[in-house]
Amino acid sequence: MLFKHLCRRDAVLVLFGAACFYTFSAVSVLNAGPEYHEQIVTEPPAMQTVSPVLKQAVPVDLGLVQDFPETSVVAHAPGWTIFRNLYMSSGSLLLVTRDPSQFPEHRMMTSTGLPGNLTNDAQRIPTPKEMAFVTPEEAKRRWGGDINTRNRVSTVEGTTLLFNDPPQFLNHYFHFVAELMFGSWAFLYGAFHDQTAKPSAASTNPSFNPPLLPTSVPTINRAIFIHSDVDGWRDGPGFNGYFMRAVFPSMTIEVATDWIDRVNATANTEIGRAWHFPLVLLTDRSAAFRGSICGAYTQRTAAEAWTVMAKAGKIDLIGNWWAGIRTSLARYAGGGPHEDENLPSVLQVPDTVVITYINRQGTRRHLRDEDNRALIAAVEELIARKNRQGGKRWEFNNVHAEQISLDEQIQFAAKTTIMLGVHGNGLTHLVFMKPTRVSAVVEMFIPGGFARDYEWTTRSLGMTHYSVWNNESFTHPHEPVLPDYPDGFHGPNIPLDGPFVARLIEQHVAMKEKGVPSVDNSPVHDQH
């Protein structure tokens, strides 16, 4: 169940990724993209300077104003843009401004929202139907009331996540949680979290569901999936819905039909009307692939968001920025004990080493059966030997994800130090591991095969990633530059030298326990 559809999806991913590599990398060198790449446009969050009690923005009634507030960009990376005062009318996102030159190119922010494939780059370039500039005077002419009537602009209050992608990658646990939501949180946290403010959850946000770890990231009121119906953003095993409801219990979710209501309310009318979004994170997969980090290197949309914020020092390199999310989910799933707000500033040595094997033998892409048995035997031997020697306790969980509940899967992930598995969706759970100095993901591929999905994601949290080809392994920076899916990649006969993997784990733990705390995910050097 968990791994349903994966093979087809991986194939699409390669095609899409490869297409983007050849076209987008060329384009982003020629055009002005890089300046928005490197540069983070931040405005100090208004809330930083006022006392916590006054922090909530005072709503402005746009029915009565003389001039509509102009649109501004709080932060931007290819495919990820935080706006203040974004407008929508007739389905087009409108930037009200006198100075269009201060904005990134539209194609680096949005697209037509079509599914990506090798031949439709041009059809995914946004047109004025998707995004356009409007002068303040024109906005007033279109939507302004006269002396006796209100302006025809309605505010959609609070913070909105505006997702411009089709279901193509939304309905998949890895792409939804470990790319879209992972990148969204990296970007919002980077733009708004103020380490010095230490707001208490209660004072900023009277709520039945306060954030478990305090943050000055504004409450996210809603997510809108512009091009997806209710099923389009949900994955087969049900993790996407589980994640959204567990971590953001008050968030409202709108889908394409709801968006059409809003489009029609402004389109099918003689008079002009608009919606006003005071604070929006707009994300777009096609636009992220136009950036060189995603398009030419990682094929991970979240890497654009993460890199801009990590380079600017706005998020740490050891996954503390993500701790609020993983802690919320771990507490919701049960089990425990879980993290509190005293997050360490360097990675700690854990008290126990918990090896979790995401066993895929019940699904299509898996190890040769005898190699799977040898792997389990070798890891069991390692665990028994370590526990006989005394000292740190070692634990081994051989997990068939498709046979246990979602809660149990998250409980296993939350206590895992070393996650082990054949390349596949089950490894997405790595984002719920608590990073320690020893934390690692060991990903097994058919010899010659490689994909950066879990590799980049593991390192972005400060953990170590090993790729294993039977009896060889490599880790960053020695991985292949490009993904490769040779024959047998998705098949049931992946060879593996189990004792080799057990030795790799043993050596890794010994090395990390002795060594100085270090991470190998510098955003400055981490670009080919």
Ligand X SMILES: *[C@@H]1O[C@H](CO)[C@@H](O)[C@H](O)[C@H]1NC(C)=O
Which residues sit at the interface with ligand X, rule CB under 6 A? 114, 117, 119-120, 123, 260-261, 264, 268, 470-471
**Spatial contact of 7 and 364, defined as CB atoms under 8 Å apart:** yes
Q: Which is nearer to ligand X, 331 or 503 (CB)?
A: 503
Shortest CB 398 distance to ligand X, Å: 24
Give the tokens for residue 520.
């190998």
| Rounded-to-integer distance, Cα 505 and Cα 444, Å | 13
The CA–CA distances, whole Å, from 300 to 17, 191, 437, 519, 528 equal: 9, 20, 24, 20, 14
Cβ proximity to ligand X: between 316 and 371 the closer is 371
Question: From the centroid of its chain, how far is CA 180?
Answer: 4
Residue 502 is inside which H or E element, if any?
Answer: helix 498-514
Which tokens hold the place of 56? 């909530």
CB 425 within 8 A of CB 3: yes
Residue 206 buriedness (CB in 10 A; 0-12 / 13-18 / 19+) = exposed
Q: Look at strands 131-134 and 92-96 and give their pairing.
A: parallel
Task: Work out how close the CB of 385 gets to ligand X at its nearest, in angstroms, rounded to a whole number.
Answer: 21
Residue 97 vs 473, nearer CB to ligand X: 473
Pick between residue 41 and residue 114 the one whose CB is nearest to ligand X: 114
What is the SS3 assignment for 435?
Answer: coil
CB 84 within 8 A of CB 72: yes
Q: How far is the CB of 141 from ligand X (least distance, A)?
A: 24
Nearer to ligand X, 111 or 417 (CB): 111
Q: Single out the residue of 373, 408, 380 nearest to residue 396, CA to CA.
A: 380
Supply the minimum distance, in Å, between the C-beta of residue 117 and ligand X.
4
User: For tokens 């608590």, what's the residue?
Assistant: 434
CA separation, residue 23 to residues 2, 19, 262, 480 (Å): 33, 6, 34, 20
DSSP code of residue 114: P
Using CA atoms, how far apart are residues 440 and 23, in angstroms rounded to an integer?
A: 34
Closest CB 111 distance from ligand X, rounded Å: 10
10 Å CB burial of residue 148 (0-12, 13-18, 19+) is exposed
Give the shortest CB-305-to-ligand X separation in angstroms.
25
For residue 399, which phi and psi values (nearest 5 degrees)? Answer: -105, 125
Q: How far is CA 356 from the centre of its chain?
A: 23
**At closest approach, how far in Å is the CB of 470 from ligand X?**
5
Q: Which is nearer to ligand X, 261 or 381 (CB)?
A: 261
The crossing angle, in degrees rounded to 10, of helices 323-333 and 239-247 is: 100
Pick 331 or 368: Cβ nearer ligand X = 368
Q: Which amino acid is at 66?
A: Q
Interatomic CA distance for residues 71 and 68, integer angstroms: 9
- What minimum distance in Å lies between the beta carbon of 135 and ligand X? 27
Q: Which is nearer to ligand X, 269 or 522 (CB)?
A: 269
Minimum CB distance to ligand X, residue 90 (Å): 10
Cβ proximity to ligand X: between 310 and 496 the closer is: 496
Which backbone phi and psi does 432 adopt, to 5 degrees?
A: -105, 5
Tell the smallest beta-carbon distance from residue 371 to ligand X (Å).
11
In the bound state with ligand X, the residue whose beta carbon lies nearer, of 125 and 312, is 125
What is the rounded CA–CA span in Å between residue 97 and residue 103?
10
Nearest to 178 by CA among 116, 113, 235, 109: 235
- C-beta closer to ligand X: residue 256 or 430: 256
Q: How far is the CB of 264 from ligand X (least distance, A)?
A: 4
| Minimal distance, residue 261 CB to ligand X, in Å | 6
- Cα 476 to Cα 494: distance, rounded to the nearest angstrom: 22
Q: How far apart are the first and last CA of the chain?
A: 36
Query: Minimum CB separation from ligand X for residue 91, in Å?
Result: 10
- Helix (H, G, I), strand (E, B), or coil: what is residue 21? helix
Residue (171 or 473) nearer to ligand X, CB: 473
* Residue placing its CB nearer to ligand X in the complex, 267 or 343: 267
Q: Report the residue number, 95 or 256, with the smaller CB distance to ligand X.
A: 256
- Rounded least distance, CB 468 to ligand X, Å: 11
Provide the β-strand partners of residue 468.
444, 473
